């Protein structure tokens, strides 16, 4: 039931772009994206709802394909501060989040 | 305003000891969640409160785990007779469900090490 994320890891230079994907085997109500730095709490980035509404960070965009039960997070012109592990969290009609397998992103100067 | 706070930040327990982990949610947040995060893994759901009502405890791994939120604000996660496999970071998140939005904000976590 855990959503699968791809790729597992990404290495970028500052200014490069990246896409992180999240796939679920179950019908989704919404998808949440978080970034977690080592030893810190997950930080909320975005939430996307069925029907196209989304709410979140100005410099990060995402898509939600309800039919395919997939979401993608788009990181453009990456900065050093983008480094961390990215998790998608899928919300079913119950309010709890089921977190994905994680994608580790490293941005180098 | 203040975010979610958790205490203690670090806890070392001997196998068989009982521990209590505290979560202070953001004021006014109705929802409160507990997650367990093992090293290198994503957070895993343990239990969920709406005000003082525990609506979902399907993620609690055994009957040694117990959570309460008696007045609908502060919550305590108690683990009895701790085992080594209980070693993990325990994250608390509070949420303000407005319409269809159900954002969750995480605290810094309590790192539990069972020796």
pLDDT of residue A58: 67
> Which residues of chain A are at the B interface, by a Cβ-Cβ cutoff of 8 Å?
2, 30, 32, 34, 40-44, 47, 49, 53, 55, 87, 89, 91, 94-102
Query: Beta strands A60-65 and A43-49: pairing type?
Result: unpaired
Find out whether B94 and B25 touch, Cβ atoms under 8 Å: yes
pLDDT of residue B80: 98
CB contacts < 8 A, A to B, total 62
Across chain B, mean pLDDT equals 93
Q: Which residues of A touch B46 (CB under 8 A)?
A: none
pLDDT band of residue A8 (cuts 50, 70, 90) is very high
Q: What is the pLDDT of residues A31-73, one digit of tens each?
A: 999 999 988 989 989 888 877 777 777 678 898 888 888 999 9
Residue A17 has pLDDT above 70, yes or no: yes
Across chain A, mean pLDDT equals 89
Q: Which residue of B has its CA nearest to A44?
A: B105
Nearest 5°: the CA angle B87, B90, B94 is: 170
pLDDT band of residue B2 (cuts 50, 70, 90) is confident
Residue B1 has pLDDT above 70, yes or no: no
| CA neighbor of B34 nearest in space, from B106, B113, B115, B82 | B106
């Amino acid at each position: 039931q855990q959503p699968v994320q791809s790729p597992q890891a990404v290495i970028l230079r500052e200014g490069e772009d990246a896409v992180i994907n999240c796939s679920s085997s179950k019908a989704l109500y919404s998808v949440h994206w978080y970034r977690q730095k080592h030893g810190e709490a997950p930080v909320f980035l975005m939430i996307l709802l069925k029907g196209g509404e989304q709410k979140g960070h100005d410099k990060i965009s995402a898509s939600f394909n309800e039919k395919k039960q997939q979401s993608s997070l788009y990181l453009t012109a990456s900065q050093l501060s983008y480094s961390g592990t990215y998790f998608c969290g899928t919300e079913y009609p119950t309010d709890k989040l089921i977190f994905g397998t994680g994608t580790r992103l490293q941005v180098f100067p | 305003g203040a975010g979610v706070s958790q205490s203690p930040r670090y806890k070392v327990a001997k196998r068989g000891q009982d521990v209590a982990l505290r979560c202070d949610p953001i004021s006014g947040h109705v929802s409160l969640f507990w997650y367990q995060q093992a090293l290198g893994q994503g957070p895993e759901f343990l239990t969920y409160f709406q005000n003082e009502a525990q609506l979902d405890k399907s993620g609690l791994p055994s009957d040694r785990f117990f959570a309460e939120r008696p007045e609908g604000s502060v919550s305590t996660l108690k683990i009895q007779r701790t085992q080594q496999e209980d070693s993990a970071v325990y994250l608390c998140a509070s949420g303000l469900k407005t319409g269809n939005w159900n954002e969750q904000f995480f605290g810094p976590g309590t790192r539990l090490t069972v020796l």
